[in-house]
Structure 1
Amino acid sequence: MAILTIVAHITAKEDQVDLVKSELVKLIAPTLKEEGCVNYDLHQDNENPAHFMFYENWESRELWQQHTAGQPLKDFGAATEGAVEDIHIHEMTQLS
């Protein structure tokens, strides 16, 4: 089975950038220890600091779905309630 690539765009509210950033950074260490996580790379837009992007690769969609239901993401949701403007998740398959 092909590796599943996730591109997640997270936009913080303008006055909540530091909070959202710190909570996103907290996700990295526990996620990298999860079964099936190949990489979990966080980026911040140079021109719009409220825009963050995770580039992730997972061994399978099922393992990624376990991640999405896990405690670290639940904690992120609770800590950033009302601070996130938008989240877009793209499930992708590498073609070449």
Structure 2
Amino acid sequence: MALTIVAHITAKPGQESLVRSELEKLVPVTREETGCLQYDLHSDNENPSHFMFFENWKSRELWQTHMNAPHLSAYMTATEGAVESFTLHEMTKAD
């Protein structure tokens, strides 16, 4: 069964551009990963510090592989101290 991920990232004040550019770097490489069905970055129209990923993966196992990928580690290093909050929701589509 496919897994939907909704991740909310809030940048600290003054760090919005850094966080945004680092998040944008994740998009093309992640879309090429095995099991990635959808990986879309959104930015809040009213709050420039708030970002959201909407993701769909073939399985939780393939998403876990993504979570341990080198490009995600590079993002974590590049944004250390720049992110105010991060919340992640693992979801299943209700039919």
Partner of 2:7: 8
Partner of 2:51: 52
- How far apart, in 2, do the equivalents of 1:72 and 1:42 lie? 16
CA deviation profile, 1:21-62 (whole Å, cap 9, x unmatched): 000000001100100000100000001110000000000000
CA deviation profile, 1:35-91 (whole Å, cap 9, x unmatched): 000010000000111000000000000000000011011000000010000100000
4+ residue segments displaced more than 2 Å: none
Tell me the SS of whatever aligns to 1:14: coil
- How far apart, in 2, do the equivalents of 1:80 and 1:23 lie? 7
Partner of 1:79: 78
Two-structure CA RMSD over aligned residues (Å):
0.4
| Matched positions, count | 95
Partner of 2:26: 27
Tell me the SS of whatever aligns to 1:95: coil
Identity %: 60
TM-score under structure 2 length normalisation: 0.99
Q: 1:14: Cα distance to partner?
A: 1.2
Equivalent residue letter for 2:89: H
Q: Which runs of 5+ in 2 are unaligned?
A: none
Tell me the SS of whatever aligns to 1:47: coil
Equivalent residue letter for 1:67: H
Q: Which runs of 5+ in 1 are unaligned?
A: none
